[in-house]
Structure 1
Amino acid sequence: MSKFSERLKQLRTEKKMTQQALADLVNVNRVTYTNWENGKREPELDKVVELATVLNTTVDYLLGNSDINLLDASKEEIQNLTKEEAKELSASLIQNMDTILEAGKEKFNMTDDEIEVMKVLVIKQFLKEAEEK
């Protein structure tokens, strides 16, 4: 079983969701979802993004590219990261944003200029929210 399949099942069960419920949320039938969870098939990139969003995780964590699930980490856990872990997390977040925007580019036929505008908007929103905290 792949890291993706393992994490998909782990995150789903932690959320106390059935396979059918998660399949419904990402608009696929249960058999398709079950094949993903059993490692028999892999979803398209846009479905990986949807799964990560629904499961409150990053694409990199779900795919096994990172062992840090930032969206599930507490503020204290983030503050206690080593420099190396913080660098890995930062790189993971940037890669995750790029993956999400690439899926959006394909799904919504976005231009490279539109992708760059989206990156700026996301960063501005992040900074705004950080200031408010």
Structure 2
Amino acid sequence: MSFFANKLTELMKSHDVSDQKLADDLNISRTTVLRWRKGERSPKLNKISEIAKYFSITPEELIGESSKKSKENLSPNQILVASHIDDDVTEEEMNDILRYIELIKNATK
């Protein structure tokens, strides 16, 4: 299970928040919360911020980045692109995405 899934489960338990309560408060389905907690899906960047605010922690703490040093600082555009790639993307699909990005970059040179 992912760090996020474990952290979300831990936070919900410590704050006595049910799946349905969190779903209602974040205006999402209960199934979405269950998938997050099982590690089947990950929330988009905007939902990570909402969840962190809901539990009064930072987004970095929620996803396990508070103690890790980033090898590079990502630009807002890189974060935006990354937040739109689902966890269930295959390696082949990811390679296609990276090739497309390189194609776009080379076309603008």
TM-score range, shorter chain: 0.5 to 0.7
Q: Where do residues 14-33 of structure 1 align in structure 2 (5 Å cutoff)?
A: 14-33=14-33
In the TM superposition, what is the alpha-carbon distance from 1:41 to its structure 2 partner? Answer: 0.4
**Is residue 37 of structure 1 aligned with residue 65 of structure 2?**
no
- Provide TM-score, normalisation by structure 1: 0.50
Structure with more helix by fraction: 1
- Aligned mates of 1:23, 1:9 — CA distance in 2: 13
Q: 1:4: which partner in 2? A: 4
Distance, in Å, in 2 between the alignment partners of 1:5 and 1:66 is: 16
Q: CA RMSD in A?
A: 2.4
Across the two proteins, how many residue pairs are aligned to each other? 74
Percent sequence identity is: 33
Rounded to whole Å, the distance in 1 between the matches of 2:18 and 2:43 is 18
Aligned to 1:54: 54
Q: In 1, distance between residues paired with 2:63 and 2:54?
A: 15
TM-score by length of 2: 0.60
| Alpha-carbon distance, 1:26 to partner | 0.9
Structure 2: gaps of 5 or more residues: 81-109
RCO (CA 8 Å, sep 6+): is it higher in 1 or 2? 2
* SS in structure 2 at match of 1:56: coil
How far apart are residue 7 of structure 1 and its match? 0.3
Structure 1 unaligned blocks of 5 or more: 68-87, 89-94, 104-133
